[in-house]
Chain A
Amino acid sequence: MTERGKILLLHGGVLLALFAAQYLLPAYHANNLARIMVLAVYAMGYNIAFGYTGLLSLGHALFFAMGMYGAGMAVWLVEWTALPAIAMGLAAGAVAAGAVGLLALRTAGVSFMIVTLMFAQAGYLLILYFARYTGGDEGFVVEAFGRRPFGLDLVQDGPRYAAAFCLFAVALAGNLALVRSRFGRVMLAMRENEARSRMLGYNPFRVKLLALVISGLYAGAAGAFYAMLFGYVGASFAMVQYSILPLLYTLLGGAGVVLGPLLGAGLMFYLIDIASGLTSAYLMVVGAVLVVLVLFAPKGLLGALRERGLKWLP
């Protein structure tokens, strides 16, 4: 079979399985899976920046929160309906990534990590500071009238799963197309050897900025859908922990592999779900997984698989 055929078969199969899951799984797990798919889209966006372009950001919570607040506040403050609110969330995520990128991409490596962390922290504090418009610490509930795209009531389990699936399917297709495109190849070139890329005629700043904006668009989309599907917008989603989560998912599943974030998000979600049933110290699990990954599996699960034979994995 051709490489292209294998890729289509694998990713099509994953989508088919996810589609079938809503009819096969009990409601509790189906709801979990809907959440996992939205978080996976967030992590896919993170993977575009980190896994493919080599930009290790610690500030993606800002882009996720911008998507979430962009969509949520459009409903809460100006009573927009779901579709324009979601569009607002997407735009907010991308614009925030562009603005942060314009400044942060003047630095690299550790400085880039700290700068993105600081911008995200400032964003979180701004949400607290402007509590009158954002709901501050307590956040706010997205009312039902703003959660009915195309007449689908996202408060119900069925439509909620369908919406999460649609988002995930589009994001996955987009991600595959991106990394197999010419621009995807240039992103990899930036990660592998920036100096050489420049001497092949590419402007590293522009390439990285565009990759970061696409990444922010994904994070914004995930944030907007999160608000729509689960009906709550809160400052905790803008905290550092929410910048660490997509990094964790991506590292676990495999950085620079399209399906890595989904696998990482799914495993981590259930790991925490099970651990929090046993102990309140679920953050301990997160910490331990981070340390173990960095020590023993820096390429992640699918990354290791790709090194051991599945070289075609995009």
Chain B
Amino acid sequence: MADLLDKRREDREDVEIPTASMADIAFLLLIFFLVTTTINVDTGIGMTLPPKLENQDPPPVKDRNMFKVLVNSQGDVLIEGERASMNQIRDRVKEHVLNFGEDPDLAVSPSDAVISIKTDAQTPYRIYIDTLDEVWMAYREIWNSIARSGTLPGPNGEQILQKTFPDYQAYRSTLGPEDDNVIRDNFGANISIAEPDLGE
């Protein structure tokens, strides 16, 4: 018995770490990290601020073309002076933009329509983004339908796309950085951000 133990101890002294498989392990790890690493892309809601006006009044907008959304610090929403809820914004914006002069209180044409968002000074940013998101989503849904049909909405729907796409995102992804976005050029969004009231 004692012999057996001694023999084992001698065997153990010879043991080395096998290094032959090191290259394989390194290679596997390399592949693993190549596959799992994602470079995070910045996502967000793009806006263009109006340029600074030098002692000049902003261009006048007819009242019927203006769609006013007011949000206070509690997240209560006023649409055109009436109480409403956040999830009504999307449909009301679409109704306003796609009016084509029918209702005398709504926009004359999509390009004349202006969506105005005004917040309180104390409104949390999160609520502002929610509101802005709803307005953008209203436009996004209209763009989706343009991408699907290839024609502009309205009574005389003009054909602007040669091909149709499942949605706006699919159309966007076909564009290169220098290409014109035909949908947005023909059906732009006018969103105005009013300076918040200083609720003293």
A binds B: no
Where the two chains meet, the residues of A that have a C-beta atom closer than 8 Å to any C-beta of B are: none
Where the two chains meet, the residues of B that have a C-beta atom closer than 8 Å to any C-beta of A are: none
